[in-house]
Amino acid sequence: MVIVTYFMVKSFLIIIICHMFVFAGEQIILVLGNDYNSTKAKLYCFEDRAQVFEPIKVNVGKNGFGLGLGKNSLFAKDDEPIKHEGDKKAPIGIFTLDAIFGYKKDLKFKMPYIQAKKDLICVDDSDSKFYNKIIQEPKIKPKSFEEMRRDDAQYELGIVVGHNKEQIKKRGSCIFMHVQKSKDAPTAGCTSMTLEEIEKIASWLDESKNPILIQITKFQLEEVLRLYPSLKF
């Protein structure tokens, strides 16, 4: 029993040390909500153990937060809500940030850039092989999808969040950081802010620094600070 406990503690310490090492070269966006029903949160940006911008007030899901599927799994408790397709909850978890998208052509960022043309869609049909993928609209259209070139400015500039990359059915799709509809308008599950704020973040993000989004409520904060002990805010 003592030997088992020793190896468990040793493994935990190795995980912590590895995360501390990785953190030194990572860009981290932390979105922190008060509780599972919050429709607003605060966003913090970190690089090389330091906070790089003033905190930003952001809008999240109309129905708050639910546990999502990300890069790292956080410990789930029985009473915590789970993210599902169409539930208008923002996903809780640790996610990669994979690309920037926008309406304009040939914008220069230190991240892959996708121009949102009229035929670009994100598929939210769980039965489609393209579920949770951004694709050119195929001849046989999925039953349900979202147009990436909208009639409003919400997708004028945005960031692709790596939620549910394994395309688990009905666990949520098309999660982005994007321009807010209005100052206090909650989202369908994304994270929104002003155009100026999203421009600042998009210009800062660097693919070589493995940027991630940690999106949580205060209930997960203690666990996240164990994984990333250098987060100071």
pTM score, whole prediction:
0.89
Q: Could you give the CA distance from residue 96 to residue 214 in angstroms, rounded to a whole number?
A: 9
Give the pLDDT confidence of 216-232 residue by residue, as tens digits: 999 999 999 999 998 98
Structure token digits, residue 21: 């090492």
Average pLDDT of the chain, as a whole number: 91
pLDDT at position 75 is 78
Residue from 41, 35, 59 nearest 176 by CA: 59
Q: Could you give the CA distance from residue 186 to residue 89 in angstroms, rounded to a whole number?
A: 10
Q: Could you give the CA distance from residue 29 to residue 47 in angstroms, rounded to a whole number?
A: 9
Q: Could you give the CA distance from residue 9 to residue 15 in angstroms, rounded to a whole number?
A: 10
Q: Provide the 8-state DSSP code for 54.
A: -
Give the pLDDT confidence of 182-219 residue by residue, as tens digits: 999 999 999 999 999 999 999 999 999 999 999 999 99
